A and B are shown apart, each in its own frame.
Chain A
């Protein structure tokens, strides 16, 4: 049972959190101007690196704030947890 440090509430058990996938994938400014393929990449494609990965997490059972965390996918170690 890993601890994840909520930027607001401090370290809590991982079961208090929900996962939001890759961070920093902005919603396209003009979806209508994208090709089907470009849009599909935004909707369906995400990175899957071996190593540090910036992710969105929500402290679902706590303060309900979403934040960004960098997790090493090899070790599951959280390297950084920051608001947004």
Chain B
């Protein structure tokens, strides 16, 4: 999907920092990688109604039941951002279609979905030092027991709002508004200096 449309080139918001992030990686200790753009909608629906289950059925997996957790979709993620808010991503759908598809179900249950595919971008932070690195700028308790796989959180990294996603002990992602992405990337590259041999 990312480059499925001929003619117009999709430019990743962090294209200009791709190399710097790669250069800041340190073996198995730390790797920083841009994630490919994905279709994403912001879903708003009453958590106590029939909406979440219906949307879950429409996107192929149950939505996370608790705020600050995520579940996997067949080709994407469902992150619960708040009491009545989810971020649903798809690596295969076209953004417009994804909004239409989710919205169709959500609106039948008093909810709605809004295309936010280009609103945010994502950096994958992996390695045995991944959590250490984030501890330089994030006040949350990121020890694996406190922030295990399946958790996500909207919080601050440095001075930027991010959605932090725990895929595994050594595997996390930072989802960040694209206008702040350059700052966050620069912050990560600078923080990674601590782990350079």
Contacts and interface: CB of A to CB of B under 8 A. Distances in A.
Interface of A: 1, 8-10, 12-13, 15-16, 61-65, 83
Contacts of A10: 68
Given A13-B139, A61-B161, A63-B67, A8 B82 contact: yes
A13 B139 CA distance: 7
Given A1-B139, A8-B68, 14 more contacts: A8-B83, A9-B68, A9-B153, A10-B68, A13-B139, A15-B156, A16-B155, A16-B156, A61-B161, A62-B82, A63-B83, A63-B154, A65-B83, A83-B83
A1 B67 CA distance: 24
A62 B153 contact: yes
A72 to B, nearest CB: 23
A12 B155 contact: yes
Contacts of B153: 9, 62
B85 interface: yes
Interface of B: 67-68, 81-83, 85, 139-140, 153-156, 161
A19 B123 CA distance: 31
Contacts of B85: 63
Residue among A13, A62, A83 facing the most chain B CB atoms (10 A cut-off):
A62
Given A63-B85, A83-B83, A9 B67 contact: yes
A62 B140 CA distance: 12
9 contacts: A8-B68, A8-B82, A15-B156, A61-B155, A62-B153, A62-B154, A63-B81, A65-B82, A65-B83
